[in-house]
Amino acid sequence: MKKPFFSLIAIVLILGLILAGCGSKNDAGAASESGTPPAAKGTESSDSADQEPVTLKVAFFQGGYGDVWFKYLKEQFEASHKNVTVELEGSPKMGEIIVPRIEGNTNVPDVVFLNGLDQMKKWGPSGKLVDISDLYATAMPDGKTIQDTATETALHSQQWLGKRYSVPWSQSPLGIVYNVDIFEKNGWTYPTTWEEMEKLANEMKAKGIAPFTYPGIYAGYLSALVFPAYTQFGGDEFVNKLTNPQESDIPDLYKDPAFLKTYTQLESLFKNGWIMKGTQALDHTASQMEFLNGKAAMIFNGAWMENEMKDSIPEGFRMRIMPIPPTADAKVKEMMSVADSRDWGGIPSASKHIEVAKQFLLLASTEESNRKFTELTGAPRAFKYAIDGMNLSDFTKSAIEMLSKYKTVSYIYEPQAIGDGPSGVDFYAAIASGDMTPQQVIDKNVGAAPDKWKEQQKTINSK
Partner 1 sequence: MSEGGKSGFRNKSKVQRNIFIVVMLAWPLLYFAVFGIYLQIQTVLFSFQRWNYVSGKQVWVGLDNYRQAMKELIGGSYWRTGMTNALLFIPVNYVLITLSILVAVILSRKFPFASFYRIVYFFPTILSIVVLTMVYQFSLHPTNGIVNGLLGFLGLEDWQRSWLGERQTAFPAVIVYCLWAGIGFYNVMFTGALQRIPIEYYEVGKLEGITFWKELFSVVLPAIWPTISTFIILGTSGAFLVYLQPLLLTNGGPNHSSTTAALEMFQAVLGAGNYGMAATFGIIFAVIGSLVTFLVKRAVDRVDTADY
Q: Which residues bind partner 1 (CB under 8 A)?
A: 3-4, 7-8, 10-11, 14, 95-96, 99, 118-119, 121-122, 124-127, 161, 216-219, 277-283, 286, 290, 295, 415, 424, 426, 429-430, 432-433, 435, 455, 458-460, 462-463
**Residue 145 CA to its chain's centroid (Å):** 23
Q: Least Å distance between CB 124 and partner 1? A: 7
Alpha helices in 244-282 (DSSP H): 257-271
CB closer to partner 1 out of 256 and 420: 420
CB closer to partner 1 out of 127 and 257: 127
Q: What angle do CA 113, 115, 118 make, to 5 degrees?
A: 110
Q: What angle do CA 138, 140, 143 make, to 5 degrees?
A: 100
- The CB-side HSE value for 242 (13 A sphere, CA atoms) comes to 23
CB closer to partner 1 out of 121 and 372: 121
d(CA 401, CA 403): 5
Which residues have a Cβ under 8 Å from the Cβ of 239 and sit 6 or more positions away? 230, 231, 409, 411
Tell me the backbone φ, ψ of residue 282, rounded to 5 degrees.
Answer: -100, 140
Q: Least Å distance between CB 412 and partner 1? A: 14
Q: Least Å distance between CB 316 and partner 1? A: 22
CB closer to partner 1 out of 303 and 430: 430
Q: Least Å distance between CB 74 and partner 1? A: 28
d(CA 357, CA 261): 47
CB closer to partner 1 out of 42 and 116: 116
d(CA 299, CA 290): 10
- Judged by DSSP in three states, 294 sits in coil
CB closer to partner 1 out of 224 and 335: 224
Per the DSSP assignment, residues forming a β-bridge with 179 are 319
d(CA 78, CA 56): 10
CB closer to partner 1 out of 137 and 281: 281
Q: Answer for the pair 298, 177: CB distance below 8 angstroms, yes or no.
A: yes
CB closer to partner 1 out of 224 and 399: 224
d(CA 397, CA 403): 10
Q: Least Å distance between CB 314 and partner 1? A: 15
d(CA 362, CA 356): 10
d(CA 255, CA 128): 39
Q: Least Å distance between CB 98 and partner 1? A: 11
Q: Least Å distance between CB 14 and partner 1? A: 6
Q: Least Å distance between CB 144 and partner 1? A: 31
